[in-house]
Structure 1
Amino acid sequence: MDELNRSSLRFVVPRSLDRIPAPASDIGVHRLGGPLLITLGGEFDLLVAPALRQALDIAVTARCPRLVVDLRPTTFFDCSILSVLLRARRRTVERGGGFAVICVRPSHLRLIAAAELAGVLAPVRTLQQALVATVPARGRGRDGP
């Protein structure tokens, strides 16, 4: 938990299997006052999903977490990452917090739509929209999903 009190963190994604080159991935965590901004840069697939899951699990430990996952610097992600994002969203909402995904790349939006998750993840285009979206549902005066 002490890690989240710093203004900026970097997680190094370890190489998982020697025979398979690990994708170039970078997970950045930045505190924006109350919310945490988790920036995913590079490629994210099944090999790096455990590292991302661990980073998000740490971020969700707060009583009423507000998380923003920024996919804008992400060049590639697969369905295993969608699973990790859904898990983090569920855990955040269960703790009374808010969760938002920033996503602008057409290929990423198509993947989210093909998985029929556009309504659940509700990607937004800007950080400002994401910050508004992370206000817990009870703070907006409506029930969350």
Structure 2
Amino acid sequence: MSDRRHRHLAAVSPDPAGFPGRWRLCGHAIGDATVLELHGEFDLASTLSARGRVMAVMDAAESAVLIDLRPATFFDCSGLRLLLSAHQRLRTRSGRPRVVRDHVLTLRLLHVTGIAAVLRPAPTIADARTPVVADGLPARRRSGR
């Protein structure tokens, strides 16, 4: 039996003209971690509407939270603000989210702003689940220990 359970967390409701939102959130558990997938475009308008749902997931998470940005098609500074808000929310409970992202432009945005040092992006879910020690390197990849 699979350890992975999917559940739909949120979706933007259609606007008055009937067009669906440009983003959606999906979540599932892998082992003891909650994975929150951000799908679509995350600009000022969408992050304002997604913020409440993301914070609700942070509040409900009982373990590690992995924020998977791989399905996101657009991510700007408003999205960074959303990630930092999620980090602050979990930090009040001694937790820290990890970000999963392999797209070079988003990674560059995370590094240039210094947010990569806080959120420690990883290219895959498996890498994000690897414990990170104080120097920021995954425990299994440290040499001499």
**Class of the TM-score when normalised by the shorter of the 2 chains:** 0.7 to 0.9
Larger gyration radius, structure 1 or structure 2: 2
Identity of aligned residues (%): 31
Alignment of 1:63-74 (within 5 A): 64-74=62-72
Alignment of 1:1-145 (within 5 A): 7-14=6-13, 24-62=22-60, 64-133=62-131
Amino acid of the residue matched to residue 109 of structure 2? Answer: L
The offset of 1:86, in angstroms, is: 0.7
The offset of 1:30, in angstroms, is: 1.1
The offset of 1:33, in angstroms, is: 3.4
Distance 1:69 1:63, change over 3 A: closer
Report the Cα distance in structure 2 between the residues aligned to 1:17 and 1:80, rounded to whole angstroms: 24
Unaligned residue ranges in structure 2 (runs of 5+)? 134-145
The offset of 1:109, in angstroms, is: 0.8
Amino acid of the residue matched to residue 26 of structure 1? Answer: R
Cα deviation 1:43-79 (Å, max 9, x = unaligned): 1111111332112211122475421000111111111
The offset of 1:84, in angstroms, is: 1.0
Instruction: After the TM superposition, list the runs of 4 or more consecutive aligned residues in structure 1 that deviate by more than 6 angstroms.
Output: none
Q: TM-score, normalised on structure 2?
A: 0.75
Cα deviation 1:104-144 (Å, max 9, x = unaligned): 00111111122221211211111012122489xxxxxxxxx
Amino acid of the residue matched to residue 39 of structure 2? Answer: G
What is the number of residues matched between the two proteins? 129
Q: Does the Cα contact within 8 Å between 1:97 and 1:134 map onto a contact in 2?
A: no
Report the Cα distance in structure 1 between the residues aligned to 2:47 and 2:61, rounded to whole angstroms: 24
Report the Cα distance in structure 2 between the residues aligned to 1:36 and 1:79, rounded to whole angstroms: 24
Q: Which has the higher contact order (CA 8 A, sep 6+)?
A: 1
Report the Cα distance in structure 2 between the residues aligned to 1:67 and 1:133, rounded to whole angstroms: 13
What residue in structure 2 maps to residue 142 of structure 1? none
What residue in structure 2 maps to residue 143 of structure 1? none
Q: TM-score, normalised on structure 1?
A: 0.75
